[in-house]
Structure 1
């Protein structure tokens, strides 16, 4: 991605003035813990989970840990009755430590080492995903213990991340895998797919569901055991710089397509970003400034190698606002703290004149931010402050 990876119209966001109680919370948090900070509001996690659960009433939601693998998120969702989608042994360890029952988990990484399979089975997770015969063969030794989902590929050039570019197989290949599994005495439980992260159009899901329905029918026509499960993945969109369709409206055609499946088919989903993106607010402070080529450069104590890593890895555009609103606005640059010139958060943005120590607030910072942050240049990652962890107004620091 080029240096001008995210050009934000900062002035448009600055109109979204923070509420007085939010300003007070931010300032008191910085006074107590310093900056940079990530404020993680567990109430937002609850609200987002409930909204998607209501929008997909007949779907079991398995939260995908990847975008925000935080223990408090796991605890909050566990209390909500959520299930979990795992992809690595580290994620297995996290849910195990937080007391998640293994029967409420699935392991969906299509490519696994033998150790990954053994770690999941030792925990008690026995539902896995495959998308090729090489992967299927890894389960010969565990055929009495596992149930598999075959992942189909549905390309989506419009998505933030076209996950079907890297994983998934064609319907014809899926049928070959299912037939081979029958010969190897490995149980195929169903099918899965992922139409891509931040998918803007529900029709992508509808098309994939109907294709999977056809594959299920062909399985029966070939005399193979009927499939009982369909995992429709994640990718449900959230609003960054542009508004997206409300989730209840977005899911209407998805539910209509799901209603065409046999009543015996259990449906799962793997939401990640939708659950957590809105739950985190970032707080960074100006640690220095300089005038370069007629623009003010403000150097923050958080950047591309930290909480704004999503600007590189996720292509998200985070709404930003300053606590300081008054003064004449001028074209400016926000840069991160490291010595790397690529560490620039936004260019050509309209800002009032800022002082050292002034705060920059980032919205929608829950997904693929802290999860992909680094300690590059030995700048420590932003600390996380938990809000409303116990479904009430409370705040504490975590290590």
Structure 2
């Protein structure tokens, strides 16, 4: 009878997979990184970023668009942008910009990051800076500083009718802009239209009234964003077609318009049965844009994408130790981790997001059905991998045999949403954060980015010191 944890995984999923395998000790490896060796050296809880995965995903997407452009003889260019809001860390940006990408910003302090990258010559004035989001004084001033300093490829995306005047008051030179479409949200949303951008029907009138005869401003980009991301659904294709109608109508009265930003990211792997045909989606998007433009007899646009989670999400992971098991009734066993889900993986609590979860060790032990609980005194501090199952499976708890578990593809948003380095719920400290890389010979290297938070740091934040 197959009762081992390995048997459960092997008969439920295709295993091993590209990023997951077992070593000779039947312990989990992630992209060839021995995770138990990390635990032995650095302890747990532990967060890590596997930097090579960032470049790998960027290059994969660049390859898909290159293939599609060649396949359909698409006559314009493609530009990959990284959304800094997904993860602002320098090690992430430094790895990403190695690949000749561009940057999308969302708030004032993002521009300070851009200035730092320029100062260190990690990017240059050929790097597009697509400045999105609702803009107020500091953001406007920072954008203006960048453009006044000679960065002509900084393109502020107009989000509302007032922003153009605010920008013109602060920018001394002629400058380029984009306009964001306020897309209609999927029917299941509690609101009908995105709060960001300008409505479909109002864009051409806005251009004619405020931009067409404005000598300081040139419209270069139409920005289209779908909150649910790029997916093969009737909703996505319908919204893309509506966007293309706006682009075509705008292009016919605005010769300077030459770029379309198809914002909304690719999905990332959140299960061992994840299946998504990226190349098909890219090829179909490129073909639909080309066909619509040719039919309308307008030049197809240069294409921009803004991939945040896709860029950095699959590089991240977290490792916890099971501290104790609580038998709460005849059928509920709670495995308590030595950290908190609310503070370290806030999306599991806020939006019931799933991440890949696997045992790190003891794969040849028998498994049991459990629930996972965090250390805070909050009833919502738990994780369940299948909402309809209310339980997950792990090797049986043995007090004398420590069990470690890993959550994977957690690299996007969790630190910024969780308030990295600040106060945490119930004062549960942020774990140690490790950076994993490979040298020129392919050997794995590790270094500590931040140690675990200390009580002194909390006391300072709280005003006790």
Shorter-chain TM-score category? Answer: 0.7 to 0.9
Unmatched tracts of structure 1, length 5 or more: 1-9
The aligned residue for residue 336 of structure 2 is: 299
Change (3 A) 1:379 1:134: same
Contact 1:159 1:197 in 2 (8 A): no
Match of 2:427 among 361, 378, 383: 378
The residue that corresponds to 1:3 in the other structure is: none
CA separation of 1:118/1:390 partners in 2, compared to 1, >3 Å: closer, same or farther?
farther
Does the C-alpha gap of structure 1 residues 142 and 203 become closer, same or farther in structure 2, counting only changes over 3 Å? farther
Task: Choose from 106, 119, 134 the match for 1:87.
Answer: 106
Q: Displacement, 1:34?
A: 2.1
- Work out the number of aligned pairs and report it: 389
Please state if 1:358 is matched with 2:403: yes
Aligned ranges 1:334-345 → 2 under 5 Å: 334-345=372-383
Other-structure match for 1:115: 138
Selected match of 2:55 from 46, 57, 81: 46
User: Which of the two has higher C-alpha Rg?
Assistant: 2
Asked if structure 2 preserves the Cα contact closer than 8 Å seen for 1:202 and 1:250, the reply is no
Residue 361 of structure 1: how far off its partner (Å):
0.8
Deviations 1:172-225 (A, max 9, x none): 11112212322555332221011124442176555444433332332355x444
| SS state at 1:306 partner | helix
Structure 1 residues 288 and 161 mapped into 2: Cα distance closer, same or farther (>3 Å)?
farther
- Equivalence for 2:307: 271
Deviates most, 61-70 or 252-261: 252-261
Matches within 5 A, 1:1-399: 12=12, 18-20=21-23, 22=29, 25-57=34-66, 58-98=77-117, 99-124=122-147, 126-142=154-170, 144-157=173-186, 165-182=194-211, 183=213, 185=215, 186-201=217-232, 206-221=237-252, 223-241=253-271, 242-260=273-291, 261=293, 262-263=298-299, 265-294=301-330, 295-322=332-359, 323-346=361-384, 347-355=390-398, 357-374=402-419, 375-388=424-437, 392=442, 393-399=444-450
- Deviation digits for residues 271-328 of structure 1 (CA, Å, limit 9, x no counterpart): 1111222112221112333111232211212333233212234543111111223444
When residues 387 and 162 of structure 1 are mapped into structure 2, their CA distance, relative to the original with a 3 A threshold, is: farther
Higher relative contact order (CA 8 A, sep 6+): 1
List runs of 5+ in structure 2 lacking aligned partners.
1-7, 67-76, 385-389, 451-465
